[in-house]
Every structure is written in C-alpha cells, then in structure tokens.
Chain A
C-alpha cells in the first residue's frame, strides 16, 4: 500500500490547496470590488438598470462562490488522511432537498429579476418621435444613414451598391426620398432624445456594440433589427464589432459622438448642405 503510506499523515497538499483557494477567493473579490478592469459608466437609464442587476447577481453568486470554495478548502484540510477512519455516510435526504430548493429559488429569482431590464429594451417600441438611424454592417466598416430633412429613408437597391462611387449602401438614384439621406462612417446622436437604431448587414453577421450604451446586437443579413435607447451624457464612445465576420473583424470600428441638441442640429444641417452640393 505504498501510495497510502506516503499520503497518510502528510498535510502539505492540504495546506497548499487551502492556500491556493484562499488566494483565488481573495483576488477574485479584490478585483470585483476594486473594479480594476471594469465596465465604463453607463450612459442610458436602462444601462444603469443592467448594472444594478449585475450587482445583485454578483452578490448572490459571490456568496455561493466564497462559501463553496472555502468549504472545499476546509474539507480538504480538515479531512486529510491523518489516520482517522472515514465516516460511513451514504447521503442525506433532507440536505438534498434543502440545497436543491435553495438553489432553484435563488437562480430562478435572479432570472425573473433580470427579465425586467431585458424587456425594457426589447419588448416595447421606442417612444414616439424617436430619431431613426439605420446601421449597416459591411466587411469591415459600419455605415450609418439618417433620413434627412424629409424624414424618409430612400429605397435601397442592392444592384446599386458600389463603395467606390460613394454609394456603399446601394441607394436607388431614382428614389427622391433617398436624395437627402445622410450616410456617414461615424454615428452622431443627440443627447436626451429617444433613438431607434435599425440594424442590418450587407454580407455576413456582425455585431454592433457600444459598451457605455450597454447595447450589443447582432446585425443579420436579411433582417432589420430595431433597438432603442436614450443617451443621457454627451461624449465620444467607441463602436466595435463583436461577431466574427472575417479577417478584418478586429478593425471594424467606428465612433459614436453624442452631441448636445444644438450641436447635433448644426451637424445635421452641415451634412444636408453637403448633400445638396453633391447632388448638383
């Protein structure tokens, strides 16, 4: 029984394991509390709700994490082989029922609580009067389109897509509604106004992600997927692609500029003027 002899009495593995687990628990708690690498502050009301839900989940799972890991460390230390006899226990029906019910209640409760923030974004439509912007993912750029002064998006005809002639989206030249559409490579939005983004893709699946908005949504060819939100804080934020879309996935990047109302109007007017010039 060589293996048994060499193990009996040795508490080194037990001590070592306990130490590793303690460091694991300690460092995990530290980095979650110190927030060394963390979410940037949310800039939408729903974003704050999501952060709240994250916090609740962190508390619930954090308690389970600490208890389970420390129990493991303690068991390993306490019951290391030091010549004792193992207890003959086959189980405990009562305990089984208790922990099953407890985890069921905690997990499902978390799910039900989280449903609210999700529904807020995804079930209702935007408030009336929302500014609509179309977002189109193309290997490996983002295009943003505003309806322009007429408030109407022009028709798209895939045959007219030609990035080299400045028509990356394939606006149909025969549709008057499209004449004043503004197409840009960065997203400009006014602060404090309800926004509805209409997400599409021209080729493969991409994913539109802005950390501060707490919005991530795949753009799927063949579908137009709406998302809506109101931004509460002006600033410049980064837009990345989060769904593997090909070799340029990592540089499919654009900026979100959230402007004050007046700045936004100025920007819009400037774009329209440019459009009019180009149209002549």
Chain B
C-alpha cells in the first residue's frame, strides 16, 4: 500500500506575504491558522462560560455588554447556544484534527504536503467564513439563536414566533453550520487521500504513529457524518425559508398563531442531528486519543502498550459510533424497543474505550516517567477519560437515563470526557509540538502551574454537576427561581462558579507562555524530547517541503523506546537497522 512520495508539490515557498501567510497552500501554515482560529473560538467560548457562571451563581450581578447589565433568560440561552456551538464545532472539531492534524500528519508520514493543498486552503477559509457567520448572528435584530447547539425542531424551524433569536439569528446559525459541514467534508477527503497515498517508503499501515491513525479514522467519520448534518441543515433552512415541513407537524399553535405547515416530524431532526452528533463526539476525541498515546509513549520511554489493540479499538469505536445515536433519544418518543438496541450497542462501544484506557495504563507500567507539562496533561487526560467514561455507563441504560437525561449529569459527563479531555489533549499537543512549530521551547514551570490549576479546577467544576443531576437539576435553565427543589443547590452553583473563575484564570498562564515563547522561549533543538517519529527527525524550522528534498524511508514501528541492546533509549523510524548504535 505504501508508496514513495515523489511528487513535490511546490518545493519553493511562495514569495508574497499574502500567499505565504494568508492564502497559503502550506499545510503547516494552514494548520497554524486552524489552531489560531480555534484559539479565538475557545477564548470567546470561555468568556461566555464565565458569563453563564456569574449569572447562575449571582443572578443580580450586572454584567457589562447586556442591556442594563441584566442577563435576561433569552440572553442566557443565547450565551449557552453560542458557547456550545463555538466549542463543539470551532474548537473540538477543528483544533485536534484540522489544526494539529494538518500540521503534523504530512510530516509524520514523510509527505511534502497534504494531497490537495488548494482544497486544504479552501477548507480553512470556508471554516473561517462559517465562524464569521456564526458570530455575526449576535449582531442581527433579535440576536443569536436560543435553541442550544442541538437546535431541536420545531423550536429551530418555525422562526421568530418561537422566541427571540429564532428569526435571522437561527437562520445564520444553520447557514454557518452548513458551511462548516462543507469545509469539514473537503478536509476529510484531504486527510484520507493523504494518508492513503502519500506515505513514505516503508511506512506500512501498522507502522503509522497512533496520531496518524486517529486523524485517519476521524476523517472517515467526518466524511460520513458531516454529509448528514449538511442535509439536515439544508432541510432546516428550507423549513424556515421556503415553507416546507420536514420537521414541522400539522396544527402547531405557536404563540397563539396556528401555523400552516403540515406533515413533518420533529423526531426526524433529532435522528439526523444525532446520526451526525454521536460520531461527532468521537471526531472530537479520536485525534485526542492518538495524541495522548503518542505523548504517553514518548515520556514513558516505552512503546505504546498493545499498539495493535490500540489500532483495532480506534477502528471499532469509529465503526460502532454510527450505531449508537439513539442513546441521545431514549425519552424522545422514539420506539422504546429500539432504545434497548441502542443501549446495548452503546455499552458495547464502551469496551474499545476501556481497552484504550487499559493500554494507556499498560504503557505507564514499568515506565520511566518524565513529568513534562505535555506528559502531565496526558496523564490528566487518562484520569478524566475514566471518570467521564464511567458516567456514560449510567446514561447508556434507558432506565437510568430517563432520570438523568437533560440534567446537569449529562453536562458533567460530556464536559469531562469530550470537552475537557480533548482540551487536555490539545494542551499536551501544544506543549509537545511547540518546539517543532516555533523553534522555541515553552516554559515548563508555567506549563506545570497551568496544568495543576486546570486539572484541579475542571474536576471541581464538573464533578459537582453530577450531583446536581442526581438532585434533578435540569440543564439550560436560566434561573432556578421557579423550582423549589433547586433552591438548596445554590451553594453548589457558587462553588462551581468560583472553580470556573480560577480555571479560567489559569489559562492566562497558557496564553502568556504561548505568545511569549514564540519569540522568547529557549531555542529548541531538533529533537528535544528524544522522540522516534519523523517530525522530530527533520530540522527546525521545518523546511517548506518538510524534508528539504530528502524523503525518508521508514524501517520500523513508531514507538521504539528503550529497545534492549541499543545505545540510546529511542530509535527513530528512519534510521536503517545497520545504523542503529549498539550499546
């Protein structure tokens, strides 16, 4: 299968500033652009979450930027909708895959660039436009949508009449997501083509770094999932703009107006959305799993435990992820018999997830652990993944989900396992690859402060949310003032909010470290972590065509650490067997 990458797309860097930094075809620049886009999205998303936490803990505190300083119920819902959409699409989907994947996949497989550089550039700029459209919805009459990142119909389908933000704001939301789908589809094709066709000589599939496996499987999921969401968004737009009725049944009486629509099904939206939505959560986490395996192995100075099991479990998760979407719909009114099927399949998908966890622990077993900032975040990821995965086992049972569904328990579950875990992987990736990307080291002390505050902080934020869920606290409530049994939870709200502020503040260490180190960090060696994969064998800064014309041949698997008999505790993939120094 592997073929020597002989085609050199553009061995000379383009001259003009615009072509070099803005409309670049270079996967490294495009990867960096995605990362910076994600960094702006996560910054806005985080500010929004701080606003939510201030409002929930101290409802009467005035907040700058809102009419009279008051966060109205619709403002609150606008904030959660924008937070969720930005975080899920423009951070979790974008950075681990399109950001780090773009930057490092070609280098790790010994290719000069992605297979389709122009398509790559278009994907980025379409994503950029998509984000602008989303953000612009905050400034239109009626404001941005209030229907959550899941945009359930008919609330999302019938227009302004259903509430503020459901007019133009919701239309722009759907347009933005449709554009995002287009960009993700193009990018998926690029990742698949590149991985299949451009691997270096000797780089068989079972020698690919697990990062590459993560990006590859994620791209397959994206190809199959985003098409469905695109269709759903188009149908939604037709319902909104062309009087069709895909999601709107007959005889709706909204705000005292009897609608003329007839014949649609609200559940159809949920099926389409979650048919995308469940694979989507794995789109967010599979690249992260790859990154974590990679970083754990490097700083354990050990091969990844059970490399093949890791590959098979990634594939199994990818495959099964298309058969479990109904677990988001146990109590939606869907056929209760199908709930049982979805339940068992969901529990089964927990098995490959558990295999991964065991293998990460296996990698640490007998290791020589180096506590770099990247490694700390990787270890933190494993802990978060265990916690978040186990709450999934409760939710996977319809009999238990019928209590926990749409409570804060679900918020706790998916933030730990998807939100925070994937973000930990992004931090690990940043601390790990920064020296290669920018030629300077990040400051380790700041990195560790950042880790400790964040690790403790996120647990303090999201563990108590499980207890709120037990108490029956529904998610997406602008205020607890109407429900008596929620009153006694106010102290928990305050605790969570304080933890959130501390965690948000901790990110300042990261921002500072990141931007300061780009220029001022200690100059980085070519291979500061003494790692085995190809990205560490090329010079820093990485040449325009990645290998300065000398494309590597791969002789071995990706994680040859502490091999008995070798002089060094790592053997790069591209060193011929006869050249390996003996101890």
The residues of A with any CB-CB pair to B shorter than 8 Å are 1-4, 6-8, 10, 13-14, 16-17, 20-21, 24, 27-28, 31, 36-40, 49-50, 53-54, 57, 60-61, 64-65, 68-69, 71-72, 75-76, 79-81, 84-92, 95-96, 99-100, 103-104, 107-108, 110-112, 114-119, 121-123, 138-139, 158-159, 161-163, 170, 202-205, 207, 209, 211, 214-218, 220-223, 225, 238, 240-251, 253
In B462-484, the 8 Å CB interface with A consists of 463, 467-468, 470-472, 474, 476-484
A87 CB contacts on chain B under 8 angstroms: 302, 365-367, 562
Most buried by B among A53, A90, A244: A244
> Chain B's nearest CB lies how many Å from the CB of A48?
12
The listed residue (B252, B386, B561, B563) touching A203 by CB distance below 8 A is B252
Q: Is the CB of B482 within 8 A of A250?
A: yes
Q: At the interface, yes or no: B155 with Cβ under 8 Å from chain A?
A: yes
Identify 19 residue pairs between A and B in the complex whose beta-carbon atoms are under 8 Å apart, listed by A's number: A1-B530, A37-B492, A39-B472, A84-B368, A86-B561, A89-B302, A107-B347, A107-B348, A114-B343, A114-B398, A118-B399, A211-B472, A216-B402, A217-B331, A221-B251, A225-B333, A244-B77, A249-B73, A250-B480
Q: At the interface, yes or no: B485 with Cβ under 8 Å from chain A?
A: yes
Binds A, one of B176-184, B186-194, B349-357, B539-547: B349-357
Q: Is the CB of B355 within 8 A of A80?
A: no
Q: At the interface, yes or no: B521 with Cβ under 8 Å from chain A?
A: no
B302 CB contacts on chain A under 8 angstroms: 86-89
A68 CB contacts on chain B under 8 angstroms: 357, 361, 386
Given contacts A89-B366, A139-B254, A207-B406, contact A118 B339 (CB under 8 A): yes
Count contacts on B: residues with CB < 8 A to the other chain: 121
Q: CA A16 – CA B376 in complex, angstroms?
A: 11
The residue of chain B having its C-beta at the shortest distance from the C-beta of A12 within the complex is B371
The residue of chain B having its C-beta at the shortest distance from the C-beta of A112 within the complex is B344
A110 CB contacts on chain B under 8 angstroms: 347, 393, 397
Q: At the interface, yes or no: B197 with Cβ under 8 Å from chain A?
A: no
Question: Interface 1/0s, chain B 367-399, versus A by CB < 8 A?
Answer: 111111000100100110011001001101111
The residue of chain A having its C-beta at the shortest distance from the C-beta of B456 within the complex is A20
Q: Is the CB of B398 within 8 A of A223?
A: no
The listed residue (B154, B256, B305, B386) touching A90 by CB distance below 8 A is B305
A116 CB contacts on chain B under 8 angstroms: 399
The listed residue (A103, A117, A202, A240) touching B354 by CB distance below 8 A is A103
Q: Is the CB of B331 within 8 A of A79?
A: no
Question: Interface 1/0s, chain B 288-314, versus A by CB < 8 A?
Answer: 000000000000111101111100000
Q: At the interface, yes or no: B579 with Cβ under 8 Å from chain A?
A: no
B399 CB contacts on chain A under 8 angstroms: 49-50, 53, 114-118, 121
Given contacts A84-B368, A244-B147, contact A103 B351 (CB under 8 A): yes
Q: At the interface, yes or no: B227 with Cβ under 8 Å from chain A?
A: no
Q: CA A241 – CA B562 in complex, angstroms?
A: 58
Given contacts A28-B463, A72-B386, contact A91 B308 (CB under 8 A): yes
Q: CA A115 – CA B346 in complex, angstroms?
A: 13
Q: At the interface, yes or no: B459 with Cβ under 8 Å from chain A?
A: yes
